[in-house]
Structure 1
Amino acid sequence: MSGNAGKIRNIFLVGLIWPLITLGIYHLVWYYKVNREARDFDQRIDVDPVLAVLAITIGWVVIVPPFVSVYNTGQRIGRMQQSAGMQPTCNPWIGVILLIFVGLYPLYYQHELNQIWTHYRNPVEGEQVPLAV
């Protein structure tokens, strides 16, 4: 079984610089791409990236959906780490706490994703990589 590799991104650009320059638009693009990468990496991970983005945008009206979506994204990253044959180190509760206190969960999640792609020796985005499980 194999999946598509994602993109290694600079965590500071993802979490601080690009969102500031684009007035937050980059964050939504990044969130979509991360959830799409999870789906493309392991077909057993069930996620609709559009719904994930809607949950963190208009979901704020109901208050709960953004927290659930960020938590679920953290779980998906942990499952990706398992599929890569790694010990899962991504803790979705850290993502939720970072969302609540400082909104910097993208730095943490991108760091965890970068570990997966480093495990595969920095493949080109979209390259097929073998899954361990």
Structure 2
Amino acid sequence: MHPGGSPVTGRAGKYRNIFLVWLVWPLITLGIYHLVWYYKVNRESRDLDRRIEVDPVVSVLAVTLGALLIVPPFVSVYKTGARIARMQQSAGMQPTCSPLIGLLLTFALSLHSLYYQHELNQIWERYGYPAEGQEVPLAG
């Protein structure tokens, strides 16, 4: 509850098919979809809980231009997993998203996107599959 007594709310993200996110759309769009998805996932973390600080543009830059420095994409993927775990907590769930597993899955056919979307879908399932942008209550 806010000091005024009103419940804390955030905005829901989008429930997505994990196989379309991981394989189909990136193949069809020659990888562009993955960047759009990565931007949206990071934006959704901020939109769900304003206490989660992230600039989705910086996240995308880290996995694109940051690759020139080698380390930034891996830091970004790890931090995105941590944000998803935080989103699960905000939704009143036990966090099951492991940033380390997500990071390791980047080396296995980029399976981190499939894993992270699966973890995000659990949040939207908990809320009863709300429409993207719909207000949802947050836990503490």
Which residue pairs with 1:91 in the alignment? 98
2:131 aligned with 1:124: yes
**For residues 114 and 106 of structure 2, what CA distance do their matches in structure 1 show?**
11
| Structure 2 unaligned spans of 5+ | 1-7
Which residue pairs with 1:22 in the alignment? 29
Offset from partner CA, 1:32-69 (integer Å, 9 cap, x none): 00000000000000000000000000111000000000
Work out the number of aligned pairs and report it. 133
- Please give the TM-score of this superposition, normalised by the length of structure 1: 0.99
Q: Identical aligned pairs, as a percentage? A: 71
**For residues 78 and 87 of structure 1, what CA distance do their matches in structure 2 show?**
8
| Structure 1 unaligned spans of 5+ | none
Detail structure 1 runs of 4+ shifted over 6 Å in the superposition.
Answer: none
CA-based RMSD: 0.5
**For residues 108 and 49 of structure 2, what CA distance do their matches in structure 1 show?**
31
- Please give the TM-score of this superposition, normalised by the length of structure 2: 0.94
**For residues 73 and 32 of structure 1, what CA distance do their matches in structure 2 show?**
10
Please identify which structure carries the higher helix content.
1
Which residue pairs with 1:2 in the alignment? 9
Offset from partner CA, 1:84-114 (integer Å, 9 cap, x none): 0000000001111011232111000000000
Q: Which has the higher Rg, Structure 1 or Structure 2?
A: 2
